[in-house]
Homo-oligomer: A and B are copies of this chain.
């Protein structure tokens, strides 16, 4: 791996006012995206090993450094308070599908929820709780880094029973025939 890559990634993430993608980091560091991914993992492990006051969070290809959730109350006292706002049941259902099944298409979310989800997805995008990206001609959704911060996890994979929901046979069977509604 390139010299000081981990530390350079740390510098850039610290200096950036917004999350950075692996691709952008690779271009700034003039190295391979795979190397960046390894560096990110190492930085993440380092923070965790020394129970640092910060964490490295990742959703999809986006990463950011944030404060450790253990100190939420302390930090909340003096930063501008942001809130998730109240979430309705349909919103929670949609967010849970986006969290556990990411990257997920609108058709898949609709197959699971049995309702048209166009408006609700739009609304969650506007609130910054989910993000979308184009992947081989399809729009796919994930929870946002912002929503992940409110959950206090470093990645969606840390969600309880992630394996069960992510790869559930029931859901695979359902989605193999999913065309939306």
Contacts A16-B78, A126-B110 hold; do A53 and B118 have CB atoms under 8 A apart? no
Closest Cβ neighbor of A53 among chain B residues: B10
**In the bound complex, CA of A46 to CA of B50 (Å):** 10
Considering the complex, which residues of chain A in the window 70-103 have a beta carbon less than 8 Å from any beta carbon of chain B? Answer: 70-71, 74-75, 77-79, 81-82, 88, 90-91
Closest Cβ neighbor of A27 among chain B residues: B81
Size band of the interface chain A makes with B: 35 or more
> Is A137 an interface position by the 8 A CB rule?
no
Closest Cβ neighbor of A6 among chain B residues: B53
Q: How far is the CB of A8 from chain B (nearest CB, A)?
A: 5
Closest Cβ neighbor of A76 among chain B residues: B15
**In the bound complex, CA of A4 to CA of B120 (Å):** 30
Q: Report chain B residues within 8 Å CB of A111.
A: 126
- Is B119 touching A11 in the complex (CB atoms < 8 A)? no
- Is A67 touching B15 in the complex (CB atoms < 8 A)? yes
**In the bound complex, CA of A116 to CA of B78 (Å):** 24
9 shortest interchain CB distances as A-B pairs: A10-B53, A116-B128, A11-B53, A7-B53, A11-B71, A11-B67, A110-B126, A120-B181, A15-B75
Identify the A interface with B (CB < 8 A). Answer: 4, 6-18, 28-29, 46, 50-54, 65, 67-68, 70-71, 74-75, 77-79, 81-82, 88, 90-91, 110-111, 114-116, 118-120, 122-123, 125-128, 180-181
24 A–B contacts from the bound complex (CB under 8 Å): A4-B70, A4-B71, A8-B53, A8-B74, A9-B53, A10-B53, A10-B54, A11-B53, A11-B54, A11-B67, A11-B71, A11-B74, A12-B78, A14-B53, A14-B67, A15-B78, A28-B81, A29-B74, A46-B50, A91-B181, A110-B126, A115-B125, A116-B128, A123-B181
